[in-house]
Structure 1
């Protein structure tokens, strides 16, 4: 696997930690500054045993990646407290000032215009193509784990659940499969524990496109009942509801991603040639794919849509932890009432949280 520079620790004292910009079940995310250059970056930190495992996995994955479509690791620092024996890991990452796609959608009306979705989907596919070529399954693709740069470029992030199929051992693979991923975005075969392959990321991509287009998690019609949602995804013959306002190209693209048989699911390379992302037949009859975008304002042309669903959007997410199998410990991490009319990042149910990192946002 080609990688330019491993995640090496900066010299002590060369950086300073700024304000908290995100948090997760396993640690915190702070803005940071290189005191020698003034450059901004972010630092992910964890001291819990489980958080360290996820962060160490992310560091191991990122140190071998070098792609304009994946977030860059710029260093790491491991410290041990002699008095307590506690281990602390700080992972230094490039700063993506636009925040996650969930943040972007929230700031621009809750949903994204199909032209923008096409652009973002194309770059996500480029990232998946690179990962899959190098034997890596992301395992937790969703809007919160795709970050936006100031020029409109997007990068895949949050590799705590990722698996390197070429180099992982049985123990590490079992750990990531049992603890990682977000059920509403997970492929049926993964929920059935039948195996994990690149096709799982393609299913999650289809769910992410639905999320961008509707401002809601996939499977929104069953999100109020977590166990019913898991069973429906894993064992039924259904797929998430497609956006009713989507073009024919968009609907066909989703059908290629959300094929329940993973062997018939299109690959990232095949999907990169699909008209939905090539721009051959755009919504307005023009080629909508732009190779260079100089400002977010040129692509974030937001239009509000209704997703056409008529389900009751209010749900009670208080659960007893014993109701859910240990295969999904993240199902019971949060509780409380939410209204799905809220922006997508505010409305994720227990099923919509993998316990991984909250993406950094610009303000």
Structure 2
């Protein structure tokens, strides 16, 4: 596909925004010059029935959702070969993972808004009956003022009877190792509290600049999530308040019963506390972080 020349249906591709293992995201315009994002399968995945199924599933999950902190999915369209692609809300922001590379000195002032809006988006997602199963910094986009939008619903599962009904690639445990709750690692059906554990891992990374656990091998990393107590983020970032530190430790409890029981509990806790002891200053314009993708 070539920007400015190729079309997918009524959409002209204008710029490749990002590319992953299975999908590409393109900035595009429709015939009315409305800017949208298209999520399309990588060329080698276009005949992969499992990835096509996940694309359709993401549409079924995301299309009904309407919240300022959740990406909007407009349409599931097909190309001339009948391969589906998603038409989504246009957003130029980087994901949190990329933004963290800017450094705390440049993005610190955005973090309270970023964390609160990310939590609000996940609370809404849970309210609709879904478990995301892959909460991590890569799956939130960030706006100019730090407002976050939850993305990527391919692994999401409807919660029924108290636990999520599992949909997995070839029977494998689903999620990303650095953020997986113990019950996910054990292969148990996760509920919303597994997302809360993952959100706690993400908060730790945002505030510490690194994931809570590191290891020499994937199996060692999973073992740490299963058995090793979560480290205090305040030991890494002295500017984090004791209240915020305690919240993250609760979210990362090994037993789901010891975690906050809903993201609304997390949002209320965030609203009642300060994340930082001293509020990071907004940098001068010349030193401001680059939030938009180029």
* TM value normalised by structure 2: 0.81
Structure with more helix by fraction: 2
On the 8 A contact 1:116/1:301 being kept in 2, the answer is no
The 3 A distance-change label for structure 1 pair 297 and 18 is: farther
Matches within 5 A, 1:257-336: 257-266=251-260, 267-274=262-269, 277-278=270-271, 280-281=273-274, 283-284=276-277
SS at match of 2:172: helix
Does the 8 A contact of 1:98 with 1:149 survive in 2? yes
CA-to-aligned-CA distance 1:6-52 (integer Å, 9 cap, x gap): xxxxxx8532112322222222221211231x232211112132321
- State the partner residue of 1:232: 224
Q: How does 1:119-198 map to 2 (within 5 A)?
A: 119-166=113-160, 173-175=166-168, 178=172, 180-198=174-192
Q: Does 1:24 align with 2:17?
A: no
Taking a change above 3 Å as real, the CA distance of residues 70 and 191 of structure 1, as seen in their structure-2 partners, is same
- State whether residues 21 and 30 of structure 1, in contact with CA within 8 Å, keep that contact through their aligned partners in structure 2: yes
Aligned residue number for residue 73 of structure 2: 73
Partner of 2:97: 102
Flag structure 2 segments of 5+ consecutive residues without an equivalent: 1-7
Number of aligned residue pairs: 274
Q: For residues 21 and 248 of structure 1, do their structure 2 counterparts lie closer, same or farther at Cα, with a shift above 3 Å needed?
A: same
Looking at structure 2, the residues matched to 103 and 24 of structure 1 have their Cα atoms a distance apart, in angstroms, of 14
Name which of 201, 204, 227 aligns with 1:207.
201
Choose 236-245 or 157-166, whichever is displaced more.
Answer: 236-245
Find out whether 1:60 has 2:60 as its counterpart: yes
Higher relative contact order (CA 8 A, sep 6+): 1
Match of 2:87 among 88, 92, 115: 92
Cα 1:61–1:148, aligned 2, differ >3 Å: closer, same or farther? same
Aligned-partner Cα distance in 2 for 1:13–1:79: 6
* Secondary structure of the structure 2 residue equivalent to 1:31: strand
The alignment yields a C-alpha RMSD, in angstroms, of: 3.2
**Cα deviations by residue, 1:205-235 (Å, 9 ceiling, x for unpaired):** 1111111123223312x1x21111112213x
Q: Distance in 1 between matches of 2:275 and 2:209?
A: 21
CA contact (8 A) 2:173 2:185 kept: no
Does the aligned pair in 2 maintain the 1:29–1:45 contact within 8 Å? Answer: yes
Report what 1:362 is aligned to.
293
Which of residues 220, 233, 243 is equivalent to 1:242?
A: 233
Distance verdict in 2 for CA 1:214–1:112, change over 3 Å: farther
Shift of 1:76: 1.8
Q: Is the 8 A contact 2:133 2:174 kept in 1?
A: yes
How far the C-alpha of 1:179 sits from its partner, in A, is 5.5
Cα contact 1:111–1:213 (8 A) shared by 2:
no
Which consecutive residues of structure 1, in runs of 5 or more, have no partner in the other structure?
A: 1-11, 82-86, 289-294, 303-359
Query: 1:13–1:282: structure 2 CA closer, same or farther, 3 Å change rule?
Result: closer
CA contact (8 A) 1:210 1:243 kept: no
SS in structure 1 of the partner of residue 166 of structure 2: helix
CA shift at 1:296, angstroms? 10
Q: Is the 8 A contact 2:133 2:195 kept in 1?
A: yes
Distance 1:110 1:231 in 2: 33
CA displacement at 1:124 relative to structure 2: 1.4
Distance 1:149 1:260 in 2: 33
